[in-house]
Amino acid sequence: MYPHERSLVARMKDKPFTILGVNSDSAKRYKTAIKENEITWPSFWDGGKTGGPIATDWAVRGWPTIYILDTKGVIRYKNTRGKAMDEAVDALMEEL
Amino acid sequence: MGIGSAFPNIVENTIQLKKVNLLIIANSLHGEIPSRSQCRIQFDTNSLIDTHSICPYKDNMIRKIIPLTIAMMIGFHPVASMAQDTSGPTISKIIETHEDAVEVLYKKMRGKSREEQQKLYEAEYPKPDQAIESITALVLTNPGGSASLDGIDWLLRYSGQKGIDPALYNVLETHHLHSEKLQAIVLKMARSRTPETQNFLTTVSEKSKIKDARGAAILSLMKRIERDKEKEDEHTALSKTLFAEHADLIINGRNVTKSIKAEEKLAIGKVAPEIIGKDVDGKEMKLSDYRGKIVVLDFWGDW
């Protein structure tokens, strides 16, 4: 997970792209995780539990849950991972 | 073998006994049976309804003999058991034995590597086939008993897409259409694809006196077709009824109508709902701040 995300972020450097997390860890765990895994992208912090307000609004029942949004904020892909995530991001990039 | 070692014997012997009993009945009571072997084969496949139609004389005998033989095997006093509903305790015993065996295996799997877990699971997972067969027979023997609903509930969990014995739908419709326990049962039917399931869910949605069961039946009918493009109209009609008549339906602590509406807002092609929140240091953030960028929104946790 983390290595793939790091490489995607590196590949999209200088392009209109971001990973935006919604994190459900305790504050302490989250802070350790970003250090240990070199997580450079921002995250909302969802109150330290899986039933936090953002996850509830988004009806998230499993983690990780992924949505890919285009530049207008429209939901374009759901739960696309690994290679398929790269392809999805590339496809959206080509639309620009 | 350690897992459920007592249980397969009981079931196996019971099945053997059922065959023997049938032969005894066939030999002693009736000179004119359609075909003894036919009856026996039918009985082996455990379709009591079919057996009944081919060998009508067995009806009463089966009702008495199966609970009696099973009761004897697991140590009930036969006479006392005959006076009461013996299928109830027997059904719960079979379920308990199976679940205990599964639990033993899961305990064994804990802490092992994924590969070892897979191997253990494949080698030792207690096959539910015999329990399914026995419980189905017991439910059909005493369809009106309260344990028959528990039995069907368990059968639904283990039968997957191929579904339960179709005769069990008659049991549900005849004896349990207005039971408080029906909601849990109809929710488990969303996975089964048989026409009997479809008919039964429709019946519940229209005729059950239990409102929560009617709502759950509509929900299961919707789930069965949610990925079927050709049935979009049907799905829309069902969701209209659900929203209009069951706005307060709660399943597993969630308000169903609210969840469905939330999920519709999160469909592909919809503008993502705004998120206003804070990062871990308390700094305010908004999803809309990232307009103009492609965003991979990742609900994550480091566990």
B274: distance to nearest CA of chain A, Å?
A: 9
> Per-residue pLDDT for B135 more than 50?
yes
Token pair of A27 as six digits: 């504050």
Q: Which of residues 3-42 of A touch B (CB under 8 A)?
A: 5, 8, 12, 16-25, 27, 29-33, 37, 42
How confident is the model at residue A51, as a pLDDT?
A: 84
How confident is the model at residue A7, as a pLDDT?
A: 92
Cross-chain Cβ contact A72/B266 below 8 Å: no
Residues whose CB is less than 8 angstroms from the CB of residue B179 and which lie 6 or more positions away in sequence, other chains included:
B149, B210, B213
| Over residues B167-172, mean pLDDT | 96
Top residue of A6, A12, A58, A66 to mutate, by most chain B CBs within 10 Å, is A58
Percent of chain B with pLDDT over 70: 71
Cross-chain Cβ contact B301/A65 below 8 Å: no
> What's the rounded Cα separation, in Å, for the pair B245 and A75?
30
> What's the rounded Cα separation, in Å, for the pair B275 and B216?
31
Cross-chain Cβ contact A45/B262 below 8 Å: no
pLDDT in tens, B41-57: 333 333 232 233 333 33
Higher model confidence: residue B16 or residue B185?
A: B185
DSSP per residue, A7-45: HHHHHTTTSSEEEEEEE-S-HHHHHHHHHHTT--S-EEE
> What's the rounded Cα separation, in Å, for the pair B299 and B35?
64
> Per-residue pLDDT for B262 more than 90?
no
Cross-chain Cβ contact B278/A25 below 8 Å: no
Residue linked to tokens 């359609």: B34
Could you tell me which chain B residue has the CA closest to the CA of A80?
B296
pLDDT in tens, B96-116: 999 999 999 999 999 888 899
Residue linked to tokens 């999160």: B266
Cross-chain Cβ contact B299/A22 below 8 Å: yes
Measured between alpha carbons, how far is residue B252 from residues B157, B187, B301 in Å? Answer: 17, 11, 23
Residue A68 · residue A76 · CB < 8 Å: yes
> What's the rounded Cα separation, in Å, for the pair B239 and B205?
13
pLDDT in tens, A25-56: 999 999 999 899 889 999 999 999 888 999 98
Token pair of A87 as six digits: 């392809």
| Over residues B268-278, mean pLDDT | 94
> What's the rounded Cα separation, in Å, for the pair B62 and B47?
12
How confident is the model at residue B14, as a pLDDT?
A: 39
Residues whose CB is less than 8 angstroms from the CB of residue B155 and which lie 6 or more positions away in sequence, other chains included:
B132, B135, B136, B139, B164, B165, B168
Numbered residues of chain B with Cβ closer than 8 Å to any chain A Cβ = 259, 262-263, 266-273, 275, 277-280, 285, 287-288, 290-303
How confident is the model at residue B2, as a pLDDT?
A: 36
The interface predicted TM-score (ipTM) is 0.97
Residue B204 · residue B217 · CB < 8 Å: yes
Measured between alpha carbons, how far is residue B43 from residues B7, B30, B58, B151 in Å? Answer: 21, 17, 11, 20
pLDDT band at A57 (very low <50, low <70, confident <90, very high): confident
Q: Which residues pair with residue A17 across a beta bridge?
A: B294
> Per-residue pLDDT for B20 more than 60?
no
Q: Which of A74-78, B53-57, B172-176 has the lowest mean pLDDT?
A: B53-57
Top residue of B261, B294, B303 to mutate, by most chain A CBs within 10 Å, is B294
Mind listing the domains of chain A with CATH numbers?
2-90 (3.40.30.10)
**How many Cβ pairs within 8 Å bridge chains A and B?**
145
**Where are the alpha helices (H) located in chain B, listed in sequence order?**
6-28, 36-44, 48-54, 58-73, 78-83, 87-109, 114-124, 129-141, 146-159, 167-175, 182-187, 195-207, 211-225, 232-245, 256-265
| Over residues A56-72, mean pLDDT | 91
What is chain B's mean pLDDT, rounded? 76
How confident is the model at residue B75, as a pLDDT?
A: 43
pLDDT in tens, B221-242: 999 888 888 998 999 999 999 9
